Amino acid sequence: MVISPDPKREDGNRDLHLRNITIETMRALAKQHGRPIRFIAAVHDDHTEIRHIHVIAVVDKPLSYRDFKTLRLAATGECGNQRRQLDQSVNLARPHGLRSGQKRAAQTTAARQEPHARTQQAYQPMCPRCGSGYPLKRIGRTRYFCPDCRLSMSTHGLGITIEETQAALALTLERK
């Protein structure tokens, strides 16, 4: 599936935190199904004007209309929450006493600075088998390990490789 915030109403400043949108969206689906949903996702914000996330989820049955409605409502809700928080932080940071054009310029400058602060967060992958509540432990520069299901994962540049520790299953995603 693809999660894509509206580029005009929700992500006009390209400052939404797409990873959090994905996690909250999948958390809503897991709540509806009554169990964790294993998934892997890739954020695409560099090759098109419309930022989006590709998600591969492991479910035990085909998704229903109700599931897709839950996904859409959860993603839209999280986008709206982030938009309100970001807009509020821009308004709080705006200097008082500026004229209308200056206020817009101050808001735009503050909104542009926000994504740079977010990109400095540490990358914390979640286990695609156990679900979004199970972070992988780092065991090297590019290797991760799930202590619960013993999944080993390594990242190489823009690609991700997932290996089963005691079986012959491997998943490799690479950007071409």
Map out the domains of the chain as residue ranges. Answer: 2-118, 124-176
Task: From first to last of the 176 residues of the chain, give the pLDDT tens digit.
Answer: 999 999 988 888 888 999 999 999 999 999 999 999 999 999 988 888 889 999 999 998 899 999 999 999 999 999 999 888 888 876 655 555 544 445 555 555 555 555 444 444 455 667 777 765 677 787 877 777 788 777 777 665 545 555 555 555 555 555 54
Q: In what order do the strands lie in the sheet with 2-3?
A: 2-3, 52-58, 38-44
H or E stretch covering 44: strand 38-44
For residues 99, 102, 106 and 109, what is the CA-based torsion angle, rounded to 10 degrees?
170
Residue from 159, 133, 156, 158 nearest 146 by CA:
133
User: Which amino acid is located at 52 in the chain?
Assistant: H
In b/e form, how buried is each residue of 7-22, taking b as 16+ CB within 10 angstroms? eeebbebbbbbbbebb
Q: Measured between alpha carbons, how far is 13 from 158 in angstroms, rounded to an integer?
A: 24
> Six-digit token pair at 78?
């999280």
Backbone φ and ψ of 108, nearest 5°: -65, -45
Q: Is 143 exposed, middle or buried (0-12, 13-18, 19+ CB in 10 A)?
A: middle
